[in-house]
Chains A and B, each alone.
Chain A
């Protein structure tokens, strides 16, 4: 059974550019959450989607957006990239109920903004 998969694994972008990160949840999981992990810190919650609807948003600027598709995969978009957006972006999926249950993380996308 495949785990949570994210693509790409590494990405280098220039300031001001736009980036799209992708996440495929574990089969049967309908909840997907996104986190930003800056080096040396804990993951910070960005978005949660459940059944294709946004269920929560962390303290991030409007440059960050996301969506969930009918197959429950998800995209995280970041516009007008800043140097400070350099981080590991993690996606997590969980069971269909969407309640507080175990979240399984992907391996992350390492974004470097230069």
Chain B
């Protein structure tokens, strides 16, 4: 089955700096890669996603890049703010339907 690895497990940045989280996946059949943000005690919420036919996608301060050949994708957050502090999960999906395989999460702390 699909195996998703995520690094780093923890990340601290100064407010205004950029944060980068990286994920790799194992199954070349994966074709959809969402990123979820989960605040303490709350449900995961989708912040951005990318499909295998696209190399990069941007939404304001958040961007995701995908390298299908290397089987890795990354989340980039620019101009970080304290409210960006949360746990971020990457995921990969192989088949039709929402059968997501998640990474182990990155706990991001933005220091004011």
Contact A103–B34 (Cβ < 8 Å): yes
* CB-contact partner of B99 in A41, A45, A107, under 8 A: A45
**Is A1 an interface residue, CB under 8 A from the partner?**
no
A105 and B104 alpha carbons, distance in the complex (Å): 17
List CB contacts (< 8 Å) of B18-60 with chain A.
31-32, 34, 36, 42-46, 49, 51
Which residue on B lies nearest to A46, using beta carbons?
B99
* CB-contact partner of A106 in B31, B36, B43, under 8 A: B43
How many of A's residues come within 8 Å of B, CB to CB? 29
Contact B98–A100 (Cβ < 8 Å): yes
A105 and B34 alpha carbons, distance in the complex (Å): 13
Which residues of A sit under 8 angstroms from B43, Cβ to Cβ? Answer: 90, 105-108
Pairs across A and B, CB under 8 Å, 14 listed:
A42-B4, A43-B44, A43-B89, A43-B100, A55-B95, A55-B97, A56-B95, A58-B99, A90-B43, A92-B100, A100-B32, A102-B34, A103-B46, A106-B43
**Is B74 an interface residue, CB under 8 A from the partner?**
no
A26 and B1 alpha carbons, distance in the complex (Å): 29
Which residues of B sit under 8 angstroms from A98, Cβ to Cβ? Answer: 96-97
**Is A33 an interface residue, CB under 8 A from the partner?**
yes
Q: A42-B6, A102-B46, A107-B42 are in contact. Are A92 and B89 (CB under 8 A)?
A: no
Q: Looking at the assembled complex, report how far the CB atom of B35 sits from the nearest CB atom of chain A, in whole angstroms.
A: 11
Contact A50–B97 (Cβ < 8 Å): yes
A59 and B44 alpha carbons, distance in the complex (Å): 21
Contact A33–B102 (Cβ < 8 Å): no
Contact A48–B99 (Cβ < 8 Å): yes
**Is A7 an interface residue, CB under 8 A from the partner?**
no
**Is A63 an interface residue, CB under 8 A from the partner?**
no
Contact A31–B103 (Cβ < 8 Å): no
A99 and B43 alpha carbons, distance in the complex (Å): 22
Q: Looking at the assembled complex, report how far the CB atom of B9 sits from the nearest CB atom of chain A, in whole angstroms.
A: 9
A89 and B45 alpha carbons, distance in the complex (Å): 15
Which residues of A sit under 8 angstroms from B34, Cβ to Cβ? Answer: 102-103
A106 and B44 alpha carbons, distance in the complex (Å): 8
